[in-house]
């Protein structure tokens, strides 16, 4: 499933990325790697970004980015 579809409060495991390489590189540099677990903290309303926590770091991702991240619920 896509990270965007994960409900707030759920924990997921990052499986991979689909989409542009520039985006993938930036996510990897921020420490989001396949195999990592991340927790969805909240979805901003009205099509806003989602906030996740991964390795103690809080990262805001726009919806356009969040649909490119493939995850599995754990």
Site string for other proteins, 12-51 (x = CB under 8 A): --------x-xx-xxxxxxx-x--------x-xxxxxx-x
Q: Which two tokens stand for residue 30?
A: 């921020």
List Cβ neighbours of 26 (8 Å cut-off, separation of 6 or more). Answer: none
Strand partners, 51: 42, 60
70 binds other proteins (CB under 8 A): no
Nearer to other proteins, 51 or 70 (CB): 51
- For 5, which DSSP code? G
Residues that bind other proteins (CB under 8 A): 20, 22-23, 25-31, 33, 42, 44-49, 51, 55-65
């Amino acid at each position: 499933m896509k990270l965007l579809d994960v409900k707030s409060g759920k924990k997921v495991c990052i499986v991979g990325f689909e989409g542009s390489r520039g985006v993938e590189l930036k996510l990897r540099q921020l420490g989001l790697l396949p195999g990592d677990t991340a927790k969805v903290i909240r979805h901003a309303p009205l099509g806003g970004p989602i906030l996740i926590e991964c390795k103690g770091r809080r990262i805001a991702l726009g919806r356009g980015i969040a649909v490119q991240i493939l995850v599995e619920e754990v």
